[in-house]
Each structure stands twice: as C-alpha cells, then as structure tokens.
Structure 1
Amino acid sequence: MNFIFFSPNFPRYCTEFCFHLKNCGVNVLGIGDADYDSLNEKLKYSLAEYIKIDRLENYDEVVRTVGYYIHKYGRIDRFESLNEHWLELEAHIRTDFNIYGTKLDFISNLKQKSKMERFFKKSGVASIRSITKFDRAKAKKFIRKVGYPVVVKPNQGVGANMTYKIASESELEHFLRTKPAEVEFIMQEFIDGVLQTYDGLVNKDGEIVFAASHEFPHSIMEAVNSGHHFSYYCLKEVSGEIEEAGRRILRTYGIKERFFHLEFFKSNADGSIIALEVNMRPPGTWMTDAINYTYDIDIYRLWASMVVHNWVGGPFAGKYYTGFASRKDHLPYAHGHEEILQRYRHEIVNHDSITDAQSRSRGNYAYQFRSKDFDEVKRIAAYIHAVKNKVGVSS
C-alpha cells in the first residue's frame, strides 16, 4: 500500500499514525512544509520518502508532488492528513487522482454545520435549532423564537475560532457591526448542557470497531473568550444514549474507514441528547492519548490495522477515567508544577506544553492523569486549576 501522509509532522500525534502504518508494511510518503532535518527521528524512520513544499495551501505544488510519487511508486492507495483543516484539499486530491476515500461531491456535508443538521434530522437525532445567511431582521426573529443567549460561529470552521455567545441586543448589534463580511456565520440556540463526544473507528464495511466517549465540564468557547482554563474526562464507558445517537448518525452518513469525533449536548434541563457537530478525524487536544490511557490500548496501532487489514481485534473495556487539565500562563495558580507532580505522582501519566497554535483555547501547559475513581480524577483537575485570590485559594 502506498499511503501519502499530508503534513505528517503536525499535529504531533501524526508521527504515531505514520509509525504504525510502516509497521503494518505500508509505504508511507510524506508531503509537508517543514525541513526534513526538523522532523523527529521516529517520523523519519516511518517515512519512505518526504518532500518539502513551500506552501501546503498551494494546490498546484501538492498536485505536482502527488504526480511525482505516482510516477516513482505507482498507484496511491490513500491520501490523508487526519487534520480537519485539510479535509477539502484531501477530497480534491482524491477526486483528481481517483484515490479511495471521501471525494469533493460529499465533503461539504462534513464541513458545513448547516448541512450536518440535515443528516441529524435524517438519523432521527435531535439537533440544535439554527439559521444561516441572516441579517438583523432574521436574527431578531430567530432570537424571539429561541430566546437569549444564542451562539454564533462560522458555518465552516475549526474549533472555537470566532465563536461567541450573544446574551443581549447590544451584543447582537456589536456582532453584526464588526463580523467579517467574508465569513458566513451560523446562529444557534444556546443549550444549557454538558458536552459529550462519541469517538472511534469505523471500518471499510461501515462497522464501528472501536468507540470511546469524553465529557467536557468547560466549553472551548469559554476557554477562548474568557481566558479560562480547560479540562475534559475520558470516560470508562460510552453511555447507551450517546452510543445509540452516534451509531444512527454514522449510519446515515455512510462513512467508512475513518476516525470519527461526534459532539453532543446532554441537556441539563431534561437529560436529552442533542447533536452538535460531526468531525471525521481523530479527536484533538491529546484525546487519542486519553483513550490509550483509559483503555490500555494503542489507538494509533488500531487505526493502522483497520486501514491495512480492516481488522482491529477487541472487544475493548475501559479500565480508568482519564482527565486532562490545562493551565494558562496569565492565571495565578495556587499550586506549582513540582507540587502537582509530587502530590499526584502515581496518577499523572503525561504532562507537556501545548503548541502556540492551540494555546489560546487549550492552554499553555497541560496534565493528563487517570484513576479508577471518577471523583478522584475530578479532584485532581480542581487541584491543578485552583487559583490564588486576595484571601487565599479559589477553585
């Protein structure tokens, strides 16, 4: 199998995917914008060849490089980055070179939030009420129906960039005056609930061969707009209601041989499950590692085995709850780094700085920790996030 991995050096976990592809006998060919010498040794070992181009956004450069690889190695079996930012470029390349995977005629269904809602409706899963292409009058009419607050975000966007909660008419007016004219926004009702995910692997036959779930006590929107720190938990089990909703959506989409990351709200009002969005990529912010720590598996190896052999093994049972808690440099935390490591030396399984590209939302430094006791994991997150105030310590 000839597998072109686009931007194999970023995010960092791409190294693991490349490494396990190679160990499955795959010829892994890299295209990136980083110098070869800057790649880590594990990634260099994993790549049969690597070509640096000037700009990853330059489609002509990418096409010429793919053409070179075809001339040298023969048919290309896969073209992937496992990065949401490059979904459209990947689909374009697959379409132009007839490579297996999602093509251009379907990609907008995976990128535009308004189109996702149509699939949620077809699947019978409740979704957030929303409008697109709105002016002042249309926005006010929608708000009269759903009430304040509402959330506005790019209809086609990644993460929480340009995502805002609007709680009053003055905030609405400010948004309408200052929003970039070139960006199409979607306005959604605000759901008071807990964000939960359905993450995993679906094989070439459309069968879900692995699934996990994460819970977020803090939203990424909060972390970006308020400067707040950020946390989540990888759960030992997927709840039956998330499993059912996730399976329905994946069946409706007809997705095959993909990583998936679906987001839902569990309403605080009545416990109902409401679909938020679909991402056909690995979950970010170290969640692949959280899955590994929770299940004592190697999800990177399972993905490679699925791609090459259409088999992953299992069944897999969760053994721990794994927490993620990040800190931001501007906040006066009550407990120092060494104090955290000493107090929770048996529970902390990973800690590191976060790349600048993600630090605004995810934080500047983060810790991962696990325990068989969910309450203990929550206590560790609270300890890491405790900040000083004029009186003493505030959580």
Structure 2
Amino acid sequence: MNFVFFSPHFPGSSGEFAIRLHEEGATVLGIGDASYDSLPPRLQAALTEHYRVENMESEDETLRAVGFFTHKYGKIDRFESMNEYWLESDARMRTDFNIDGTKADFVDNLKQKSKMKAFFRQSGVDTVRFLKNPDHESAAAFVAENGFPVVVKPDLGSGASHTYKLSDQGELDYFLHTKPADTEFIMEEFIDGIILTYDGIIDHEGVVRFQASHRFEQSIMKVVSDDDHLRYFCLKNVDPDVERAGRSILEAFGIRERFFHIELFKSNKDGRLIALEVNMRPPGAWMTDAINYAYDVDVYSLWAKTVVHGGSGEPPEGHYYTGYASRKDRKHYRHGHEEILHAWGDAIVRYDEIEAVFSRASGNRAYQFRTDSLERVREIADYIQAEW
C-alpha cells in the first residue's frame, strides 16, 4: 500500500499513526511544511520519503508532490491527514488522483453543520433545531418558536471557535450587527445537557472494529469563550443508546475506513440523545491516548491494521476510566505539581504541555489519569483544578 500522509508531523499524535502504518507494511510518504531533519527520529524512520512544501494551503504544491510520488512509487492507494482542517484538501487530492476514500463532491456534507443535519434526520437520531444564515427577521421568528438562549456558530468548520451562547435580545442584536460578513452562521436551539461521544474505527466494509465513548460535563463553548480549563472522562463502556445512535449516523453518512468522532448531547431535561456533530478524524485533546489507557490497547496500531489489512475481530472491552484535567497559566491553583503527584501519583499516566495552537480549548498543560471508577476520576480532576 502506498499511503500519502499529509502533515505527518502535526498535530503530534499524527506521527504515531504514520509509524504504525510503516510497522504494518505500508509505504508511508509524507507531505508537510517541516523539513525532514526537524521531524522526530521515529517518524523519520517510518517515512519512505518526505516531500517538503512551502505552503500547505497551496493546492498546486500538493498536486506536484502527489504527482512526484505517483511517478516514483506507482499508484497512490490512500491520501490522508488526521486533522479536520485538511478534510477538504484531502478530498480534492483523492478526486484528482482517483484515490480511494471521501471525494470532493461529498466533503461539504462533513464540513457544513447545516448539511450534517439532513444525514442526522436520515439516521433517525434527533438533531438540534437550527436556522441557516440568521438575519433580524428570521432570528426573531426562530427565537419566538424556541426561546432564549440560542447558540450561533460558523456553518463551516470544527471546534468551538466563534461559537456563542446568546441569552437575550440585546446579545442577539449585537451579534447580528457585528458578525463577520464573510462567514455564514447557523443558529441553534440551546440544549441543556452533557456531551457524550461515539469514537472509533470503521473498516472498508462498514464494520466498526473499535469503539469508545467520552463524557464532557462542561460546555466546550464556555471553555473557549471564558478561557477556562478543560476536563473530560473516557468511559469504561459505551452506553448502548450511544452505540445505537452512533452506528445509525455512520450508516446514514456511508462512512468507510476512517477514524470517527461523533458528538451527541444528552439532554438534562428528558435524557434524549441529540446529534450535534460528526467528525471524520481521531478525537483531539489526547483522547486517542485516553482510549489507550482505558482499553489497554494501541489505537494507532488498530487503525493502521484496519487500513492496511482490513481489520478483524470484535471491538475490545474497556478496563478503566481515564480522566483528563488541564490547567491554565492565568489561573491560580490550590495544589502544586508535586502535591498532585504525591496525592495521585499511582493514578497519573501522563503530564505534559499542550501545543500552543490548541491551548485555548485544551489548556496550557494537562494531566491524564486512570482508575476503576468514574467517581474517582472526577475526584482527581477536582483536586487538580481546585483554585484559590
């Protein structure tokens, strides 16, 4: 298999996927804006060749790189990055070189939130009521039907950037007056609830080869807007309702041979699961490692085996609950690092700094820890994030 890996060096976890592909026998060909000499030694060893481009946004440069690889190594079997940001450019390369996978004519359904909702309805999973391109008149009608608060967010893209909760008419008027003219927004009803994810790996035939679920009891939108610290928990088991909803959504989208990350609200009011977003990539904020610690697996290797060999067997069971708790440099915390290690050292499996580009949502530095109960990982997160 000739596998072109776009941006194998960033984010950091991408290198692990590339290394496992090499270990499974794939010819891994990298394209990125970093020099070969600057890549970590393990990643250098995994790449058969690395083609440096000056600007990763340049389609012409990427076309030349893939053309060079095609001439030298033969037909390219896969073209992937593991980053949502490059979803559209990945699809264009697959289209231009007739490479297996999601093509350019379908990618908008995975990037535009308004188009996702049609597939959610097809899946039978409830979805958030929404309005596309709100103006004063249509927004007033939407609020009259659904009430305040409402949520506004860019229709295109992922993450919580430029996502706002509007609680009254004054905030709505201000948003409509100041919103960027070059960005299309959607307005959604506000759901009071937690986020549960359905994460995993699906093979070329549509069989789920691995599954996991994370629980977010914070609003990610509020974390970003308030520059707050983040916490989440990787669960030991996938709730059956979450699994049913997630698999229905995968079927509706026709997803094949990908890592997936599906976000669902669980309403505090009535317990309903409500589809929020689907992302065809590994989850961020160390969640791939959280999965590894909770399930005692190497999810990077599981993905590589699925891509190269097709995957086999039933999804493994979880053994632990894994927690993530970040800290922000601007905050004053009650317990220092050494205190945390003294109190919870047996449970802590990782402590590290966060790449700066992700720090607004994920924190400046973070701890990962695992125990045999959800209550205990909450207790550890409370201790780490306790403020003066």
TM-score normalised to structure 2 length: 0.99
Other-structure match for 2:383? 383
Other-structure match for 1:311? 311
Other-structure match for 1:28? 28
Distance 1:256 1:157 in 2: 21
Please list, as runs of the form range in 1=range in 2, the aligned pairs for 1:292-371 lying within 5 A after superposition: 292-371=292-371
Residue ranges of structure 2 left out of the alignment (5+ in a row): none
Other-structure match for 2:280? 280
How far is the alpha carbon of 1:217 from its aligned partner?
Answer: 1.2
Other-structure match for 1:186? 186
Residue 311 of structure 1 aligns to a residue whose secondary structure is: coil
Other-structure match for 1:116? 116
Please list, as runs of the form range in 1=range in 2, the aligned pairs for 1:68-83 lying within 5 A after superposition: 68-83=68-83
Does 1:14 find its partner at 2:29? Answer: no
Are the equivalent residues in 2 in contact too, given 1:111–1:156 (CA < 8 A)? yes
Other-structure match for 1:57? 57
How far is the alpha carbon of 1:373 from its aligned partner?
Answer: 1.6
Distance 1:53 1:315 in 2: 38
Residue deviations 1:173-215 (CA, integer Å, cap 9, x gap): 1111111100000100000001000000110101111110000
Please list, as runs of the form range in 1=range in 2, the aligned pairs for 1:30-179 lying within 5 A after superposition: 30-179=30-179
| Percent identity of equivalent pairs | 55
Are the equivalent residues in 2 in contact too, given 1:321–1:372 (CA < 8 A)? yes
Are the equivalent residues in 2 in contact too, given 1:220–1:362 (CA < 8 A)? no
Distance 2:177 2:52 in 1: 42
How far is the alpha carbon of 1:312 from its aligned partner?
Answer: 4.2
Residue deviations 1:146-169 (CA, integer Å, cap 9, x gap): 111111000011211101000011
Are the equivalent residues in 1 in contact too, given 2:267–2:273 (CA < 8 A)? yes
1:225 maps to a residue whose letter is S
Other-structure match for 1:393? none
Distance 1:173 1:37 in 2: 52
Residue 233 of structure 1 aligns to a residue whose secondary structure is: strand
Are the equivalent residues in 1 in contact too, given 2:208–2:315 (CA < 8 A)? no
Distance 1:378 1:195 in 2: 16
Distance verdict in 2 for CA 1:315–1:107, change over 3 Å: closer
How far is the alpha carbon of 1:314 from its aligned partner?
Answer: 4.1
Residue 323 of structure 1 aligns to a residue whose secondary structure is: strand
Moved more, 311-320 or 35-44: 311-320
1:192 maps to a residue whose letter is D
Distance 1:228 1:140 in 2: 31
Residue deviations 1:60-90 (CA, integer Å, cap 9, x gap): 0000010000011110000000110000000
2:357 maps to a residue whose letter is A
Are the equivalent residues in 2 in contact too, given 1:130–1:186 (CA < 8 A)? yes
Other-structure match for 2:4? 4
Distance 2:270 2:135 in 1: 32
Are the equivalent residues in 1 in contact too, given 2:211–2:315 (CA < 8 A)? no
Residue ranges of structure 1 left out of the alignment (5+ in a row): 389-395
How far is the alpha carbon of 1:315 from its aligned partner?
Answer: 3.9
2:62 maps to a residue whose letter is V
Are the equivalent residues in 1 in contact too, given 2:91–2:102 (CA < 8 A)? yes
Does 1:243 find its partner at 2:243? Answer: yes
How far is the alpha carbon of 1:313 from its aligned partner?
Answer: 3.6
Residue 93 of structure 1 aligns to a residue whose secondary structure is: helix
Provide the aligned length of Structure 1 versus Structure 2.
388
Extract structure 1 runs of 4+ deviating beyond 3 A.
Answer: 312-315
Distance 1:268 1:79 in 2: 41
How far is the alpha carbon of 1:228 from its aligned partner?
Answer: 1.6
